[in-house]
Structure 1
Amino acid sequence: MIEKNSRRSFIKRASLTSAALSTAPFILSATTNESQPLERVYSFQEFGINDKINIALIGTGIQGIYDTQAALQVAGVKIVAACDLYTGRLARAKELWGEDIFVTRDYRDILNRKDIDAVLIATPDHWHQTITVAALEAGKHVYCEKPMVQNFNEGQEIIKAQQASGKICQIGSQGMASLGNEKAKELYEDGAIGDIVMLDMYNDRYSSEGAWQYPIPTDATSKTVDFDTFLGNAPKTPYDNNRFFRWRNYQDYGTGVAGDLFVHAFSTLNYVISSDGPNRALATGGLRYWKDGRDVPDVSITLYDYPKTETHAPFNAAFRINFIAGSGGGGGFKLIGTEGEMEIGQNSVTVNRSKLSMEPSGYSMVSFTEDMQAKIRKEYASKKLDTRTNSLATGTTTWQAPRDYKGAHYDHFYNFFTSIRNNGKIIQDPKFGLRAAGAALLANESYSKKQPVLWNPKEMKLI
């Protein structure tokens, strides 16, 4: 726990200079709401044909297409190839990116090409480790979708392969490089909320699509889908369109709500507070509504314990997912501290600081005589617990990205490609990716075992 994270030091730094005021909430009155802009300066260059980074997409599904569209917004990037096990998606790749791109149903054809600098891996989770390691060994830079791994024991192989190759490997929690995360980290380190006590994260959905009941194309058959290759090392099973197109619903290929959604929250949380992650998890939940053959829950609640470190106090985190939220849906991610709370989004951060009442109110004084009440009030007043400074340092400040902000997804790829060009540092390397994925997978482990599970966040291993 850093001693500087206190109300006193925060207010002191905020009032020293106008420059300090740009990195910390203003000293607000209790009734004031302030709005501040977020901004980022990009370095733009013109790239010739020989300077472009050629990319290939492996897994031309929903997320793969969104990833590629975001990647192509970065200057100097060109897509030259795409891979998928369903022929209809290869046709879609040509519709989107031109008839001249190379398409294949075998990812090894992609890795063997000399004209490809980097690959985007957006396959089902059970293929992430195999293809990522193979791509690094083939000398390709890699952007691998989250979660980095399906199982705890797969991550070390990716870490070793990246270190041996010397190539850039970015894990794809696409909100990681956002303006919101960047500002939240700065504010947290400035002591804006004091010592963290709790994280509250939730994601509510109320649609079949939100619950992973994705549409199945009418031409999907064993001829247009390479189902045997899709299965990979998973248990053999007869051809099944649901398993191929709705793979997130099955433990054999996906990682449930934890791997799809928890991992984003852990990426942001660990980044903002500079943490290696939790050391204990306890999960519950169940399959409440979407009983379509899936074997993962559609409602999940997991409680995590974070130990004390040099960058944060010990605290608890609550993660909640509901795929049948009658409220209509929504989400939130809020850090709650001893001196305030911070709500973090990709495009905004809001800090709310309230006055902590340290003197008794009428509620607790009612059982005492009027004379005793007066004596107690005098005693508390002499201690000067409720100071004017603390009263002034309250209110709400929101930092908001401009309307023309390119977005977190763009920023994550901008970081990836800039690192490739400059041999720079990426924001989510394989070690970071394993810590985020490992923490998320603890939810599945606890749910399956029906008991708490322990995790070593530094060694990234189950205990």
Structure 2
Amino acid sequence: MKQNSNRRSFLKKAALGSAAITSAPTILASSRDETIWLQRQHRENNYSANDQINLGVIGVGIQGIYDANDALTVNGSKVVAACDLYTGRLDRAKELWGNDIFTTRDYRALLNQKNIDAVIVATPDHWHKQITIDALKAGKHVYCEKPMVQKWEEGQAIIDAQKSSGKLCQIGSQGMASLGNEKAKQLYEKGAIGDIVMLDFYNDRYSAEGAWQYPIPPDANKQTVDFDTFLGNAPKVPFEPKRFFRWRNYRDYGTGVAGDLFVHAFSTLNHVISSHGPNRALATGGLRYWKDGRDVPDVSITLYDYPKTETHAAFNAAFRINFIAGSGGGGGFKLIGTEGEMEVGQNSVTLKRSKLGLVPAGYSMVAFTEEMQKKIKKGYEEQNLESRASSLSTGTTTWKAPSDYKGGRHDHFSNFFEAIRGNGKVIQDPTFGLRAAGAALLANDSYYSKKPVDWNPTEMKII
């Protein structure tokens, strides 16, 4: 594998001694703890009104507002239109982006606006496919929130629509273009952790808001909410504000913790190790606490198998979510290899390299006579299994973004807009988006079928 030659190069540099290690801090962890600052230069061009990217926001809920505001941190962008099925959100859109913006309940009316260059699709998951395809066919570039699809079978239609339209489609796993991901990918490809053995991802929450019990406005009624349009192709049910404002809690409209949270981890993991994804999943869990009418679990554990490829060894991944974590909450994303581990975040990466113990210590030697212990120790000494080089290449290095770093979400939109302007490609196109979403959604397929599920990560379909 290519990873083997990269690892040999990494170890060769480490074996040169501490001076060499210190002189190459961007890829090596030295035998002491250190912190290194990450840097990135963005294009900070000033654009005229005629050269700005005009945005339409379809879905002015929590994520739609955050997305639009993050987009506006990039020079040369402006929100000119907004669409939502709740009138209160259209009022909020005008508060945020100006009374002169075009507002509508009908996304097709927004797509008909000639002055819109790109749209943000931040609707419930069950609307992603149709609106994204319609937007591409209308000649708009699309930023589609993750997961790209509610069901993996929907993905190929988006891939085909993007290719035939000639427009760009960026999938919105916001940390994808971050400094943390960029450094983690560089370190992995240099062989910093050896062969990957395991991915450990977890997200613990301990609040009603974190468990998707979002507030419901007191003016929610059949006049202010277009509930029938919201349902779309989902089963017809009577008007229920909880289903509209807390749609993540229902299989008919959302994708549970897998689509909301696993997909971020798969996006980063597949990007860092240049993988198409896992080929098998086994999920368990349950609804342990938030029994508020939802039909998705609030505790979920899924184990994934990754096959051996040219860019990584075969390994396992553990994904776990707990929405009633009495510890108070927290999260982590850790790549564990044969020679080190990386804790990866949008703003930082911590690389830890330890010395592998190959020489037996007192625990196993106790079963032998004193004379035999001496012979065994001598035999290990002659093999020189624990060399000086292996000791020199240990330690912990943390790479951090500076205090003025605008964040991974800014970087993701910057990548999108630069691609629209012809400067490079989007980092998360629909094919990448389907591989991330498909892998995440395997957790749901396994959980509800109560059995393992096999997946073809190259062809992006269940076997």
Deviations 1:164-209 (A, max 9, x none): 0111100000000000000000000000000000000000000000
| Counterpart in the other structure of 1:222 | 222
Deviation (angstroms), 1:2: 2.4
> Aligned letter for 1:387?
S
> Aligned letter for 1:71?
A
TM-score by length of 1: 0.98
| Counterpart in the other structure of 1:358 | 358
1:422 is paired with a residue whose SS is coil
Change (3 A) 1:377 1:366: same
Deviations 1:193-241 (A, max 9, x none): 0000000000000000000000000100010000000000000000000
| Cα pair 2:358 2:385 within 8 Å, conserved | yes
2:61 is the alignment partner of 1:21: no
5+ long unaligned stretches in structure 1: none
| Counterpart in the other structure of 2:64 | 64
Deviations 1:102-122 (A, max 9, x none): 100000011111100000000
Give the Cα–Cα distance (whole angstroms) in 2 for the partners of residues 379 and 6 of structure 1.
Answer: 31
| Counterpart in the other structure of 1:304 | 304
Give the Cα–Cα distance (whole angstroms) in 2 for the partners of residues 367 and 276 of structure 1.
Answer: 48
Change (3 A) 1:6 1:159: closer
Give the Cα–Cα distance (whole angstroms) in 1 for the partners of residues 369 and 22 of structure 2.
Answer: 52
2:461 is the alignment partner of 1:461: yes
> Aligned letter for 2:455?
W
1:194 is paired with a residue whose SS is coil
2:381 is the alignment partner of 1:378: no
> Aligned letter for 2:288?
R
1:334 is paired with a residue whose SS is strand
| Counterpart in the other structure of 1:435 | 435
| Counterpart in the other structure of 2:402 | 402
5+ long unaligned stretches in structure 2: none
| Cα pair 1:289 1:298 within 8 Å, conserved | yes
Give the Cα–Cα distance (whole angstroms) in 1 for the partners of residues 277 and 23 of structure 2.
Answer: 30
> Aligned letter for 1:261?
L
| Cα pair 1:14 1:24 within 8 Å, conserved | no
Deviation (angstroms), 1:15: 7.0
Deviations 1:328-383 (A, max 9, x none): 00000000000000000000000000010111111000010000000000011100
| Cα pair 1:205 1:328 within 8 Å, conserved | yes
Deviation (angstroms), 1:13: 3.8
Deviations 1:26-47 (A, max 9, x none): 4x22xx2110110101111111
| Counterpart in the other structure of 1:153 | 153
Give the Cα–Cα distance (whole angstroms) in 1 for the partners of residues 51 and 152 of structure 2.
Answer: 38
> Aligned letter for 1:222?
K
Give the Cα–Cα distance (whole angstroms) in 2 for the partners of residues 410 and 8 of structure 1.
Answer: 36
Change (3 A) 1:364 1:6: farther
| Counterpart in the other structure of 1:42 | 42
After TM superposition, the structure 1 stretch with the greater mean CA deviation from structure 2, 111-120 or 4-13, is 4-13
How does 1:210-359 map onto structure 2 within 5 Å?
Answer: 210-359=210-359
2:203 is the alignment partner of 1:203: yes
Deviations 1:278-297 (A, max 9, x none): 00000000000000000000
| Counterpart in the other structure of 2:448 | 448
| Cα pair 2:14 2:393 within 8 Å, conserved | no
Change (3 A) 1:443 1:67: same
Change (3 A) 1:119 1:15: farther
Deviation (angstroms), 1:7: 5.2
| Counterpart in the other structure of 2:122 | 122
Give the Cα–Cα distance (whole angstroms) in 2 for the partners of residues 399 and 169 of structure 1.
Answer: 31
| Cα pair 2:59 2:122 within 8 Å, conserved | yes
1:415 is paired with a residue whose SS is helix
Give the Cα–Cα distance (whole angstroms) in 2 for the partners of residues 15 and 77 of structure 1.
Answer: 49
Aligned length: 460
Give the Cα–Cα distance (whole angstroms) in 2 for the partners of residues 307 and 48 of structure 1.
Answer: 50
Give the Cα–Cα distance (whole angstroms) in 1 for the partners of residues 271 and 347 of structure 2.
Answer: 16
Deviations 1:372-416 (A, max 9, x none): 000000011100101011011101000000000000000000000
| Cα pair 1:5 1:194 within 8 Å, conserved | no
After TM superposition, the structure 1 stretch with the greater mean CA deviation from structure 2, 117-126 or 4-13, is 4-13
Deviation (angstroms), 1:14: 5.3
Identity rate, percent? 73
Change (3 A) 1:163 1:6: closer
> Aligned letter for 2:248?
R
1:80 is paired with a residue whose SS is strand
> Aligned letter for 2:28?
P
Change (3 A) 1:339 1:239: same
Change (3 A) 1:12 1:68: same
| Counterpart in the other structure of 1:99 | 99
| Counterpart in the other structure of 1:193 | 193
1:411 is paired with a residue whose SS is helix
1:120 is paired with a residue whose SS is strand
Give the Cα–Cα distance (whole angstroms) in 1 for the partners of residues 22 and 36 of structure 2.
Answer: 14
> Aligned letter for 2:320?
R
